[in-house]
Amino acid sequence: QKEVEQNSGPLSVPEGAIASLNCTYSDRGSQSFFWYRQYSGKSPELIMFIYSNGDKEDGRFTAQLNKASQYVSLLIRDSQPSDSATYLCAQDIQGAQKLVFGQGTRLTINP
């Protein structure tokens, strides 16, 4: 069973709407969760990290973590065409530093 699951998409959202990206994980011991954005042909860049249950907001981005249900999500408000990219969810593995990544969700924002 894959440790981090994401819907590969593509997810299409109209410009100005809210994009909702979801990720589920199996390792209950994980304490650190990360969202990375990856443009085609580029390396991943950090969007947000979250350690605690609840919401964490940064500008147009909100990360949500629910450890009881083992999911983490990323909301993008007022979506822009420049938000079109693949979004990678990652978690650390208990007792180890390595990150395990989901397959990524390809997001397209339509003007």
User: Which residues of the shown chain bind another protein in the complex (CB under 8 A)?
Assistant: 31-32, 34, 36, 42-46, 49, 51, 88, 90, 92, 96-104
Q: How far is the CB of 75 from another protein (least distance, A)?
A: 20
Nearer to another protein, 88 or 109 (CB): 88
Q: How far is the CB of 51 from another protein (least distance, A)?
A: 5
Nearer to another protein, 25 or 36 (CB): 36
Q: How far is the CB of 16 from another protein (least distance, A)?
A: 30
Q: How far is the CB of 21 from another protein (least distance, A)?
A: 14
Long-range CB contacts for residues 91-99, cutoff 8 Å, separation at least 24? 91/3, 91/4, 91/25, 91/27, 91/30, 91/32, 91/33, 91/34, 92/30, 92/31, 92/32, 93/3, 93/27, 93/29, 93/30, 94/27, 94/29, 94/30, 94/31, 95/29, 99/34
3-state percent helix, strand, coil for the chain, nearest multiple of 5? 5, 55, 45
Nearer to another protein, 25 or 79 (CB): 25
